[in-house]
Structures are given as structure tokens and as C-alpha cells.
A and B are shown apart, each in its own frame.
Chain A
Amino acid sequence: MTVDLSVEIGGLKMKNPVMTASGTFGYGREYAHVVDLNRLGALVVKGTSVHPWAGNPPPRVAETPAGMLNAIGLENPGVDRVVKEELPALRAFHVPVVVNIVGHTVSEYVEVARRLDDSDGVAALEVNISCPNVAEGGLTFGTDPDQAFEVLRRVREVTRLPLIAKLTPNVTSVAEIARSVVEAGADAVSLINTLLGMSIDIETRRPVLGNTLGGLSGPAVKPVALRMVWEVAGAVSVPVIGMGGICNARDALEFLMAGASAVAVGTATFVDPTAPLKIVDGIEKYLKEKGFRKVTEVVGLARRS
């Protein structure tokens, strides 16, 4: 008996519910010779802005208990080069490509979305209103329901591509932000982006990261991420993409049962580049063993009263 792993996220059709998390898988080519990209549910590429962004001064990463901090600062070559140099190569694969978009201003988000809407090979946009590592834009849009609404509303006007709003955990009520972006036209939400954190070197007596603050990811954040996915899945009717510390199929199934329709794998890929594919296999195995016919049958299963 075969199991149907396919899911649909606000118009984005995927052969299975496992995606890469933005910023952790480059543009796919870095891993293409060791990971069969065609087996991914979707490939989410690095945050892309109108102009090239240089990113933050090093050090940009630091390991923490069961996790890591990063403060990359959305370094990217800008949308023109992404369209010209990265997307064409990805069209050779049979995997939906989701581009994560960032901006300092609402009009920058709109401009990137417009450019990508015109480009071939983009299956959906993930609107990043949640990066903790840039001074302006990013997180500021994601922590205020009105600003979050405004970004999504304006981006919605210029594209018919499925829009996924990527939410930050660094708020009092993530459900409130989620309701706001859905009202503005988001087809789905993804969460969590990283949790704001820091680390200090007691020898140099200085913050470890060049940017002082960074975003925490990895197994350490999973319970927090799962709780937030649970809250958001209960607050909005659009599909939820769950992420935050997912390392194996067991973790992924927890997110699905909390109400996520799909999951993204990030930090785990640094440890094992094939982690996303192992998670696909593990989900399939679980579903077969337990007698499910479709992965959608387990979505929100833990919510039943």
C-alpha cells in the first residue's frame, strides 16, 4: 500500500511536506550532488532583497547548548543576480522553488516580489517579516500587526504567486500577527524564525557574535516552536508550515500533529545534509506502520478533543 505524502500549501503543490528552511540550504546547488533535490517537497532559497546586502560582521555563528546562534544579516547578491544566476539552474530540477524575500522598506518588498513574479521557476514567495539580524526591516515588520498587514497587503497587490508570511517568535502573541497577515492576503504562514539570543565570551569579555545579538535555532527551540505552531494553527484557517529545531521524522510528525500542513528543516541540514530526505522517509514509514493513507490525515491530529 502506498502512502500519499502530497500536500498543498495555499496553491503551492508539493510531493511531500518537507521543505528546506531559508538560509540553510543556499540555492540548492551547494548540496545538489549529495541530496536528490527532486525528492524535496520544496526548496526554499536564501532571503533575497532588491539590492545586494553585505550582511553582518563576523563572527556570525556560535554554538549554544543544543542549538546555535546566527547573525548572518541576510547577506545576498540581490534579486537581479538571483534571477539571472541561481534560478535558471534550479529549473532543471522537479522541485518547487520558494524564494524568501526581504526589504528595508515596504516598497523594497514590493519591488522584489514584482521582479520574482516576472521570473520563471518561482513557485511561491515567503515574505520574511521576521529576521532578527537586520537593523531595519525584517523583524520590525513582523512584530507589529499593522506593519505586518501592510507588507503583505502591498506584496499581495503585485503578485498572484502563493504568499507565505514567515513569522517571528519574538512577540507576545504570534496568533495576532498571523491573523493580521492572513487578513492582508497571505495564503499560508511559516514559523518560527529564530529566537533572539546572545552569547558572551568570558575570556575576551565581549559578545561572541559580531552583531552582538543573533537568532537561536536547533533542537533547543523545538518545544517553543511547536507551542507557537499549535497556537497559530488554532487561530487561522490557512495552512501552517512548521519549523524550529526539527531534526528527524519524529520531530516533524509532532509539528504535523500540532496542526502544521508542512515542515521545514534548517539547522539539522548543517549536521546532516540528507536530513530533509531522511525525514521524508521517516514520515512515510510512520504513516505506513500506523495505517494512514495520506499525510494530511495526521495534520492537527493532536488537536482533537
Chain B
Amino acid sequence: MSWPEPEPSWNRFEARVLKVDHPREDHCLVVLEAPLIARRGKPGQFVHVRVGGEGFPVLRRPLSVAAFHPDRGEIELFFRIVGRGTKWLAQRKANDLLDLLGPLGRGFPTGPGGPWLLVGGGIGSAPLLSLAQAAQRRRIPVVVLLGAKQQAELVLASRFGELDARVHVATDDGSMGVKGPVTSLLADQLKQNEPPAVVYACGPKPMLKKVKEMTRGQAFPCYLSLEERMACGVGACLGCSCAAETTGTARATTCTEGGTGCENLVQENKVTDLLPGPVGYVRVCVDGPVFEAGEVSLD
């Protein structure tokens, strides 16, 4: 399993809106002409999208890329409309231009072995779609577990279904697939004879926490894609931090650029009693958004 090669750099792009689709009222799919991001982006990476005009909303919105189409030079963004920024974005029309920074962040690490087990909760299934497409291209078998409150929210299920993937669905109200959380599907999968080569998950934090617990100590690795409020999106402001695990392979923010600073940090914190819990933080924007499950604390 190896992490994707870090791109030399992100850049700023003006991307033309090709299509805006509303598969349901509060969900939006935007197709953009962004050839460089489509070619260079990796599954799990995100773009930082400027929303609104002058003034308000102020900050860009980080959105994971649901699909890369290097052949057509297009990318797809799939998001839930939750506030002013995403509402503004959902009101764009074909031929509008969007100001993007990207591709950003560390995507999903991949290896040659299969099968890949993908676990998506709600809108968290978006970055997993690009991963499933990558698996298809590489002829690696994929099992996809999707969960949502109700059938209507499983808007990406058909997209996964178009791929050569086995898709299992769970809904809270039982309106589609198994009634219950997506982690119950994961429990079933982990009981199967053939263990997955790797588990990838994206979704609400409680779901990720459960996935992390269920895969702890297993022979296969588990990677989680995190979401956090961001300002800069490029590692400068330290606004999107997530607590690093105190044990294991945690790479505290201050330890990302090599060296053995982690030990120093632990000692310093003990001495000055700066922080009662975790010893450090990782930046979701550049250290992630994808982390090995043992790297981050989700408490």
C-alpha cells in the first residue's frame, strides 16, 4: 500500500461549469471543465471553491472530487446543500466560471491487491466514487457499502452500480436495502471468508469512529477520509486540525516535515501542561484529508 505521490503543487484555476444537476432538493452535482485537475488529481483529493462574490460568504468551500475524467478534462463535485456557500454553488448555471484551488490534500493510498472495501455514509460516498472508478480501471474487485437515512439520499448508488462493483445498501428507515447503519454491513463483510485487502471509509465522524474500532488490529489497513472546517486549505493557517492519536504512527502537525519532533513535542507538553489529551494535531487539508485510521483520534 503506498500513498499517492504528492503533486508538486496545487494551483488556482478558473473552471467552467458544464452542468448543474439536483438529483434531489438538497443534493447537488456540478460537472466542471478542469483539465489539469482531471489529469493530475487523485481519488480522495479535494478542491477549494470560492463561493459568492465580493464579501460574503468569505471563505472558500472544500469539496472532495467525486469523479475525475482525464479523457474529457472534467471533474464532478457532489455535495449536500447545507449553508450559504453550498447554496450559492448549487445556483450556478452552465458556462459560469468557478475559482478553484486544487488538486489539494493527500488522497487514498492504493496497492495492487484486492478486493477493496469501500464504506460510505451519506454524502461521504462522494470521494469513494472516484476510488471505485480507479479500481475499475485497474481491474481490482470492489465491494461498496453505502448507508444513508433513507433511500432518497442514496443518490450515488446508481453511479456505483454502473461500475463493476458489488454494492450493498443500508438505510436508517429500511426504505432501501438493509435497515440499520452501514457499519452493520461492514460487520457482515468482515465475517466473510475472503478478507478485504484494504478498507476505505468516508462519512460522518461517528461512523468513521465505528469503522476505526471495527478494523483495529486487523491484517488489512483502513483509511479514513475526514472533513473539517477550513480557511486556507493549503496548510498555512492550521485551522482544520484534527487530534492525532497519542500512540501509533501519529504524525503531529509539527512532525510532518521529517525529523523526530514528535518526541520533543510530547515532552514539551508534559512539561508545560499545555494540552491534557492528544499531543498534537494533524492538518486535514495537507496531512489528510485521508489518514490511516490509527493516525487520528475521532473522540
**Which A residues have a C-beta under 8 Å from some C-beta of B?**
23-26, 30-31, 33-34, 46, 51-55, 57-63, 65-68, 70, 72, 75-78, 81, 85, 104, 218-219, 247, 267, 269-274
Contacts and interface: CB of A to CB of B under 8 A. Distances in A.
A58 B241 contact: yes
A52 B55 contact: no
Contacts, number: 136
B228 interface: yes
Q: Which 9 A-B pairs have the closest CB atoms?
A: A26-B236, A61-B239, A77-B254, A30-B236, A51-B268, A33-B9, A54-B275, A270-B231, A66-B56
A24 B57 contact: no
Nearest to A245: B58
A274 B101 CA distance: 12
Contacts of A59: 228-229
Nearest to B284: A58
B144 interface: no
Given A52-B264, A271-B60, A72 B11 contact: no
Contact of B269 (A30, A34, A54, A68): A54
A30 to B, nearest CB: 4
B50 interface: yes
Interface string B81-110: 000010000000000000101000000000
Contact of A68 (B59, B233, B242, B277): B59
B257 interface: yes
Contacts of B55: 66, 219, 247
A150 to B, nearest CB: 21
Contacts of A270: 58-60, 231-233, 237
A53 B274 contact: yes
Given A63-B57, A66-B56, A75-B254, 5 more contacts: A34-B12, A55-B238, A61-B59, A81-B254, A273-B234
B230 interface: yes
B45 interface: no
A25 B237 CA distance: 7
A80 to B, nearest CB: 9
